[in-house]
């Protein structure tokens, strides 16, 4: 009974118990009775933070059970869609139980009768918003309507502090899909256009991550959000036409400068993959850097051991050098661009320099770490390369401080 639960000081959210289900139904009734103009609810179960709610519990109502997803989804469908004619946007993000597990997702789909107002919401990548991952295998599976979630300011890739354009990769498919999943029928969002279940796109226009960098200019996430959201409204449009529309409308660039700007953005997507991850190893830990933090051996030891075992050190470091060279190209193009808005012109140049310094720092750090581990395993250290990288690493950090100061 409620009295017994309250004497214990807590209510345990067990979906299998009728009382828990009754509480959820009552909460739904209170929401829509008080706010009848609401179109519906977005439901998030897999990652719930309650640091500022000390008297609540969360994140555990599913308890790792597909059966609990089935109970909750059916309850929400009945109370919100059937009884009230409102929408349910049911987010599948849950660290892999149904979000990326096709078998479990299809179990859930089979146990919930389709309804035009019940919509699954699924991130486009398998897992979180990272490169070098395949298209999410749960997308366009089953018979339910679904929308796709896309992040425009990625916490693991600069958070808008340096260029990173995702529009082409998200809409038409990333380059790495060619070797990660060459025969898979779905890749970019465009490949879903023939699906009757594909009902929309949700952009995380800002947000993602816990800390900095904290941007004062929204140009890079704005570009991503504009291209992706406007494509969703007219899927016959090409990604490039929407890109050009943005830069001409909001930056006032002419044809020549539009071409230069596009070259810079396409280079940024290539530079991110080669500079922060690698095309030689798809299972690399993508979280070794996020927000304003650069990790090291503690986060990368498993990956570095793989590189050493498979004699990939030289190839990996060459790839990091290639990424730095690409960022130098990006920086050079930023200096050439003729942008009439002085504030935007300054930001483009500064953020390009920021990106070049950041990825050059990554390159030197990786030289020290990989060459050091290589020496640990062989007893022979490439001291010349390590010492040079340390000097460059220190100089780059000083350059970064000067960039901020100036």
Q: Which two tokens stand for residue 239?
A: 């990604």
Residue 239's pLDDT is 98
| 3-state secondary structure (DSSP) of residue 290 | strand
CA distances, 376 to each of 305, 370, 371 (Å): 11, 10, 9
CA neighbor of 209 nearest in space, from 156, 133, 272? 156
pLDDT at 52 > cutoff 90: no
Q: Which two tokens stand for residue 276?
A: 């922060």
- DSSP assignments along 126-167, one per residue: SSSS-SS-PBPTTTT-SSSEEEEEEESS-TTTTTTSS----H
In angstroms, rounded to a whole number, what is the distance separating the alpha carbons of residues 344 and 339?
7
Percentage of the chain modeled with pLDDT above 70: 96
Residue 10's pLDDT is 60
CA distances, 173 to each of 112, 176, 183, 252 (Å): 31, 8, 13, 28
pLDDT digit string (tens) for 229-267?
999 999 999 999 999 999 999 999 999 999 999 999 999
What's the distance, Cα to Cα, between the start and end of the chain in Å? Answer: 65
DSSP alpha helix (H) spans, 277-341: 297-309, 313-336
Least confident of 20-29, 38-47, 48-57, 317-326: 48-57
- For helices 219-233 and 239-250, what crossing angle results, to 10°? 130
In angstroms, rounded to a whole number, what is the distance separating the alpha carbons of residues 208 and 152?
9
- DSSP assignments along 92-124, one per residue: --STTSSSS-HHHHHHHHHHS---TTEEEEEES
**Stretch 368-383: mean pLDDT:** 97
pLDDT digit string (tens) for 101-128?
999 999 999 999 999 999 999 999 999 9
Residue pair 197/146 in contact (Cβ under 8 Å)? The answer is yes
Full-model pTM: 0.94
Cross-strand pairs, 119: 89, 145
In angstroms, rounded to a whole number, what is the distance separating the alpha carbons of residues 186 and 202?
18
Q: Which two tokens stand for residue 405?
A: 């100061």
N residues, the chain: 406
Q: Which two tokens stand for residue 153?
A: 């300011």
pLDDT at 8 > cutoff 90: no
């Amino acid at each position: 009974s409620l009295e017994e639960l309250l004497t214990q000081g807590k209510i345990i959210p067990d979906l299998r118990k009728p009382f828990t289900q009754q509480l959820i139904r009552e909460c739904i009734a209170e929401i829509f009775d008080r706010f009848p103009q609401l179109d519906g609810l977005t439901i998030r179960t897999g990652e719930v933070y309650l640091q500022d709610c000390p008297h609540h519990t969360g994140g555990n109502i599913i308890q790792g059970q597909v059966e609990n997803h089935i109970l909750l989804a059916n309850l929400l469908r009945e109370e919100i869609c059937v009884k009230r004619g409102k929408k349910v946007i049911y987010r599948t993000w849950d660290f892999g139980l149904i979000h990326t597990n096709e078998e479990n997702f299809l179990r859930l789909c089979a146990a919930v009768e389709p309804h035009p107002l019940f919509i699954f919401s699924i991130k486009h990548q398998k897992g979180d918003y990272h490169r070098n991952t395949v298209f999410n295998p749960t997308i366009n599976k089953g018979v339910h309507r679904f929308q796709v979630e896309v992040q425009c300011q990625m916490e693991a890739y600069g958070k808008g502090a340096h260029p990173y354009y995702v529009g082409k990769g998200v809409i038409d498919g990333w380059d790495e899909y060619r070797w990660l999943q060459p025969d898979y029928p779905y890749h970019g969002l465009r490949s879903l256009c023939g699906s009757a279940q594909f009902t929309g796109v949700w952009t995380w226009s800002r947000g993602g991550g816990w800390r900095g960098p904290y941007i004062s200019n929204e140009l890079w996430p704005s570009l991503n959000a504009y291209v992706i959201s406007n494509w969703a409204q007219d899927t016959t449009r090409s990604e490039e036409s929407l890109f050009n529309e943005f830069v001409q409308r909001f930056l006032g660039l002419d044809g020549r400068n539009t071409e230069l700007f596009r070259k810079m953005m396409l280079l940024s997507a290539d530079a991110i993959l080669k500079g922060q991850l690698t095309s030689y190893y798809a299972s690399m830990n993508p979280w070794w850097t996020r927000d304003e933090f650069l990790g090291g051996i503690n986060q990368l030891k498993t990956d570095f051991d793989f590189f050493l075992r498979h004699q990939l050190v030289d190839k990996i470091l060459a790839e990091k050098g290639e990424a730095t060279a690409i960022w130098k190209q990006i920086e050079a193009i930023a200096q050439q661009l003729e942008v009439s808005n002085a504030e935007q012109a300054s930001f483009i140049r500064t953020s390009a320099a920021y990106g070049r310094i950041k990825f050059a720092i990554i390159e030197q750090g990786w030289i020290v770490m990989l060459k050091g581990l290589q020496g640990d395993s062989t007893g022979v250290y490439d001291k010349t390369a390590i010492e040079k990288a340390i000097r460059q690493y220190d100089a780059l950090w000083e350059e970064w401080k000067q960039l901020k100061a100036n």
